Amino acid sequence: VDALTIFLAENHRLVTGLHMFGFVLGFGGALISDIYFIRFIKDFKISDEELQILKGFSQIVWLGVAIIILSGLGLFLPDAESLLGSSKFLLKMLVVLVIVINGTFLNFLITPKLTSINFFDEAGKGYHPRSIRRLAFALGAVSSVSWFSAFTLGVLRRSQFSLEQMLVLYVLALSFGVIGSQIAEYLVSKKGFKFPF
């Protein structure tokens, strides 16, 4: 373990570069998924072909997450003691956990049902497309806010704010994001509303 720690410390720039590469794939993939999801639902349904495209983006996101976590461990090991005392690092770990759990829900709860998100069939019996659509928008917002928060926490200097202050900010950002997403969902439900992208 000692030799590994020394190796990681000596290659700090390289490991940081990997960390950023993972971020580009993960955040970029998540962002492009959101934009294409909005484009694809402009005709109020997601076709099988469109679903395959979204699944491709999702694989890029998970690859990015794997690279981020591995390289993150590589950055963590040589500096573990001081990082465990850093409130911004601890909160970042919580945010990463939210990204992973939220992404798992998106993958296993929303993705299989995407093609049945029909924006005008409110009559479906025993199945509530509207609630799934709302959930899809909410989880999408949690994802974007969390990626942005993890990045902000990553570039922040250590311990500028207390853990409580940052946690409050993160929860506030999540709340605004989810509320905004529900407003967006409502607007999309009204036929004719156009997103700028």
For the bound state, the minimum distance from the C-beta of residue 121 to ligand HEM, rounded and expressed in Å, comes to: 36
| Segment lying near ligand HEM (by CB under 6 A), choices 43-51, 75-83, 101-109, 168-176 | 75-83
Smallest distance, ligand HEM to C-beta of residue 21, A: 11
Out of 57, 89, 137, 170, which residue is the one contacting ligand HEM (CB under 6 A)?
Answer: 89
Q: Are 96 and 147 in contact (CB under 8 A)?
A: no
Q: Vertex 171, ends 168 and 176: CA angle to 5°?
A: 120
Least separation in angstroms between residue 68's CB and ligand HEM is 5
From the list 30, 68, 138, 145, which residue makes contact with ligand HEM (rule: CB under 6 A)?
68
Site string for ligand HEM, 11-50 (x = CB under 6 A): -----x--x---x---------------------------
| 3 state SS for the chain | CHHHHHHHHHCHHHHHHHHHHHHHHHHHHHHHHHHHHHHHHHHCCCCHHHHHHHHHHHHHHHHHHHHHHHHHHHHHHHHHHHHHCCHHHHHHHHHHHHHHHHHHHHHHHHHHHHHHCCCCCCCCCCCCHHHHHHHHHHHHHHHHHHHHHHHHHHHCCCCCCCHHHHHHHHHHHHHHHHHHHHHHHHHHHCCCCCCCC
Q: Which is nearer to ligand HEM, 28 or 129 (CB)?
A: 28
Among 31, 53, 83, 132, binds ligand HEM (CB under 6 A): 83
98-137 residues near ligand HEM, rule: CB under 6 A:
99
Beta-carbon contacts of residue 181 (< 8 Å; ≥ 6 apart): 137, 138, 140, 141
How many residues line the site for ligand HEM (CB under 6 A)?
19
Cβ of residue 158: shortest distance to ligand HEM, in angstroms? 7
- Give the nearer residue to ligand HEM in terms of CB position, either 75 or 110: 75
| Residues at the contact surface with ligand HEM, assessed by CB under 6 A | 16, 19, 23, 68-69, 72-73, 75-76, 83, 89, 92, 96, 99, 147, 150-151, 154-155
